[in-house]
Chains A and B, each alone.
Chain A
Amino acid sequence: AQSVAQPEDQVNVAEGNPLTVKCTYSVSGNPYLFWYVQYPNRGLQFLLKYITGDNLVKGSYGFEAEFNKSQTSFHLKKPSALVSDSALYFCAVRDGTGGFKTIFGAGTRLFVKA
């Protein structure tokens, strides 16, 4: 069975500073990893994914994430945070060697202060 952990309920960062939102996962096969963002009263928007290849993947709005197989982590990063990045961020994992479901973490609320 797959699982995802987002250890921080909330991350606070000042505008212009780098941000990191943490995610660790557990899956029996090869992981397909995703980040989604949710703004208030909206659906989830896909940010980026890791399937295979380079460990550093780049996505929408200047976000990137680093896949670390040995630490089973997939942390979301951005070099310079914007106030408009404030939202709820979800890490998600799917077992790439079988199964159809993607499991989401509990979410991390990001606050970027001006």
Chain B
Amino acid sequence: EPEVTQTPSHQVTQMGQEVILRCVPISNHLYFYWYRQILGQKVEFLVSFYNNEISEKSEIFDDQFSVERPDGSNFTLKIRSTKLEDSAMYFCASSGTGAYGYTFGSGTRLTVV
């Protein structure tokens, strides 16, 4: 069964450093998303990406965040200057259309120290 893969599984970074979280969505999917989950609690929407541009973003997704699909297969989330409160599990997801459920990756646990 096709999978969404995320790397790394765990990243520790110092406050103020830049991090890039990587995702490889399912190859024939058209919609891509990033969500985050703090301490196994609520799953929060960050951003959706379609047709090579951001289609929607939340209030969390401020100027510190950016997304990119650099080569037609990878989908990355960059946090420019990490803060302690950015520590969370970050999930990438993709879907074929908006009417389908998402396929989520296993997540990247980001720890900012």
**Which residues of B are interface residues toward A (Cβ below 8 A)?**
4, 31, 33, 35, 40-45, 48, 50, 55-56, 58, 91, 93, 98-107
Task: Give the CA-CA distance A36 to B91 in the complex, in Å.
Answer: 14
Rounded to whole Å, the gap between the CB of A25 and the closest CB of chain B is 15
Q: Residue-by-residue, is A76-114 near B (CB-CB < 8 Å gives 1, otherwise 0)?
A: 000000000000101000101001111111110000000
Beta-carbon contact of A34 and B101 below 8 Å: yes
Rounded to whole Å, the gap between the CB of A24 and the closest CB of chain B is 16
Beta-carbon contact of B101 and A100 below 8 Å: no
Ranked nearest first, the 10 interchain pairs of A and B with the lowest CB-CB distance are A46-B101, A100-B48, A104-B43, A43-B104, A100-B55, A100-B56, A44-B104, A43-B106, A101-B45, A106-B42
Which parts of A19-41 form the interface with B (CB within 8 Å)? 32, 34, 36
Rounded to whole Å, the gap between the CB of A81 and the closest CB of chain B is 22
Beta-carbon contact of A44 and B43 below 8 Å: yes
Query: Which residues of A have CB within 8 Å of B107?
Result: 42-43
Query: Which residues of A have CB within 8 Å of B48?
Result: 100-101
- List 9 other contacts, CB 8 Å, given A44-B91, A44-B104, A104-B43: A32-B98, A43-B106, A88-B40, A90-B43, A94-B98, A100-B56, A105-B42, A107-B41, A107-B42
